[in-house]
């Protein structure tokens, strides 16, 4: 268990700051795998400094250095879920023998669909613990016996991205048939766009994506700043009396699905304008939201939006939250438990989740648990605009995706004191 910190905001809640965000974790992790598959022909610039990305980068270096070794190389991803999924596919076609493992929570996160898809293609993977979950023993005995594989689209888009990234390196290429509804489609489109930039063509016909065996081209993938990290600043501007935040280098036409936060937060009173150097957020007038918000394509925004809505006393309903239950923690349950501390309930009814803010109240001091989940800490931190003292449990958990989060909050006038 890490250390706790007191988060507070004193004085007039008129926030004006410029915040330079780290590179996108989602783009960075894809770029690293693509670069490794290309044997370094594809270069990467502006990598995220998130722990997940640093972990993946270090592992890929370790694999490159030791893959001619006949003995098993232990690869430990810790809490890095993206790294677990992407490496399961990447290591299945790498030269070497690998024991792929992670934290206790990682060993509870399902991976059967991806493993079975890879095995159908010809990978040699065995469960080294409970069936359907990490750890995995992966050998270099990949012998492709099929080009076509089917996989559900409503469990994790990372399974699909993992398969698509190795597709051009497979002897027979890949035809990936997506069964059922596709969750987090923008993340899949991000993967295909980055592959395209690296010279890899694809065809998407109906529910099947085709990628032939082909070579990567020399190029540099430049990682955009992280729109997921930007979402916390949208929440702060929405909750402040007055807010004006500049976020350099973010693009209007972004590969990142979480850029949807621009439109989602308009009814919350946040206006976004493009500037020569990035974007600017400014607080404005809120308007009524009468529809159910579907977060299927941007589930990583869910905690931010739901907590912000609760703090504003909005009895909103949401769909598209099913994948939250298999993230770093069961994020739905975590939200329910922590929102109860400000008198708000989040109820589930046939995949529709509804806030009831009738008993909303802000205590003078409250402790929020983070459940080893970076997004819990960052989603609840803005509530210090209403609560005199928030004690944030294991506050350094934010290092997973946004290591400078607390430093950036201090730039905007918040006080962070480790205890």
Full-model pTM: 0.84
Is residue 297 part of the annotated active site? The answer reads no
Enumerate domains of the chain plus CATH numbers.
5-23+224-418 (3.65.10.10), 25-222 (3.65.10.10)
Distance CA 106, CA 89 (A): 16
Residues 6+ apart with CB under 8 A from 104: none
CB 53 within 8 A of CB 60: no
List the structure tokens of 292.
């159910």
- The secondary element (H helix, E strand) that includes residue 242 is strand 242-248
**14: which DSSP letter?**
E
pLDDT at residue 285, as a whole number: 92
- What's the chain's length in residues? 419
For residue range 72-112, list pLDDT tens digits in order. 899 999 999 999 999 999 999 998 899 999 999 999 999 99
Distance CA 145, CA 402 (A): 41
**Order of strands, sheet of 136-139, starting from the edge strand that comes earlier in the sequence:** 72-76, 97-101, 136-139, 124-127
* Pick from 384, 262, 264, 325: nearest CA to 105: 325
Mean pLDDT per segment of 10 residues, for the chain of length 419 residues? 92 94 95 97 95 95 74 90 96 94 94 97 96 95 93 92 98 97 91 98 97 98 96 98 96 92 97 95 94 94 98 96 84 96 96 97 98 96 98 96 97 97
pLDDT at residue 6, as a whole number: 98
pLDDT at residue 1, as a whole number: 64
Distance CA 317, CA 353 (A): 5
CB count, 10 Å around CB of 58?
11
pLDDT at residue 217, as a whole number: 98
pLDDT at residue 67, as a whole number: 59
Catalytic residue (one of 52, 258, 297, 300): 300
pLDDT at residue 70, as a whole number: 60
List the structure tokens of 392.
């944030």
CA within 13 Å, CB half, 134: 26
Q: Using H for helix, E for strand and C for coil, what is the string for 52-64?
A: HHHHHHHHHHHHH
- The secondary element (H helix, E strand) that includes residue 4 is none
């Amino acid at each position: 268990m890490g250390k706790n910190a007191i988060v507070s905001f004193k004085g007039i809640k008129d926030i004006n700051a410029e915040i330079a965000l780290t590179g996108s974790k989602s783009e960075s992790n894809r770029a690293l795998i693509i670069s490794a598959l290309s044997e370094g022909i594809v270069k990467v610039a502006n990598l995220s400094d998130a722990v997940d990305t640093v972990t993946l980068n270090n592992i890929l270096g370790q694999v490159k250095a030791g893959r001619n070794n006949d003995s098993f190389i232990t690869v430990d991803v810790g809490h890095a879920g993206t790294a677990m999924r992407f490496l399961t596919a990447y290591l299945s076609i790498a030269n070497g023998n690998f024991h792929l493992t992670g934290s206790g929570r990682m060993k509870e996160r399902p991976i059967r669909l991806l493993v079975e898809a890879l095995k159908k293609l010809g990978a040699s993977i065995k469960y080294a613990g409970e069936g359907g979950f990490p750890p995995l023993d992966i050998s270099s005995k990949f012998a492709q016996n099929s080009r076509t594989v089917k996989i559900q689209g409503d469990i994790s888009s990372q399974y699909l991205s993992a398969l698509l990234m190795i597709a051009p390196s497979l002897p027979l290429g890949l035809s990936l048939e997506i069964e059922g509804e596709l969750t987090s489609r923008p993340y899949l489109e991000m993967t295909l766009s980055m592959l395209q930039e690296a010279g890899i063509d694809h065809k998407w016909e109906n529910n099947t994506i085709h990628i032939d065996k082909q070579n990567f081209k020399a190029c540099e993938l430049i990682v955009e700043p992280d729109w997921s990290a930007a979402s916390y600043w949208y929440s702060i501007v929405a909750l402040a009396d007055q807010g004006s935040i500049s976020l350099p280098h973010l693009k209007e036409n972004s590969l990142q699905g979480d850029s949807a936060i621009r439109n989602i937060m308009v009814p919350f009173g946040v206006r976004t304008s493009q500037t020569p150097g990035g974007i600017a957020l400014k607080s404005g007038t809120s308007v009524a939201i009468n529809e159910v918000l579907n977060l299927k394509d941007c589930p990583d925004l869910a905690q931010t939006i739901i907590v912000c809505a609760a703090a504003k006393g909005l009895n909103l309903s949401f769909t598209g939250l099913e994948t939250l239950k298999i993230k770093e923690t069961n994020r739905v349950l975590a939200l329910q438990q922590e929102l109860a501390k400000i008198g708000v309930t989040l109820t589930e009814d046939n995949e529709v989740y509804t806030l009831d803010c009738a008993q909303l109240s802000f205590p003078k001091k409250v402790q929020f648990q983070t459940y080893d989940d970076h997004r819990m800490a960052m989603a609840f931190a803005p509530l210090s605009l209403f609560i005199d003292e928030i004690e944030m449990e294991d506050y350094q958990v934010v290092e997973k995706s946004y290591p400078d989060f607390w430093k950036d909050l201090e730039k905007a006038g918040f006080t962070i004191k480790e205890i």
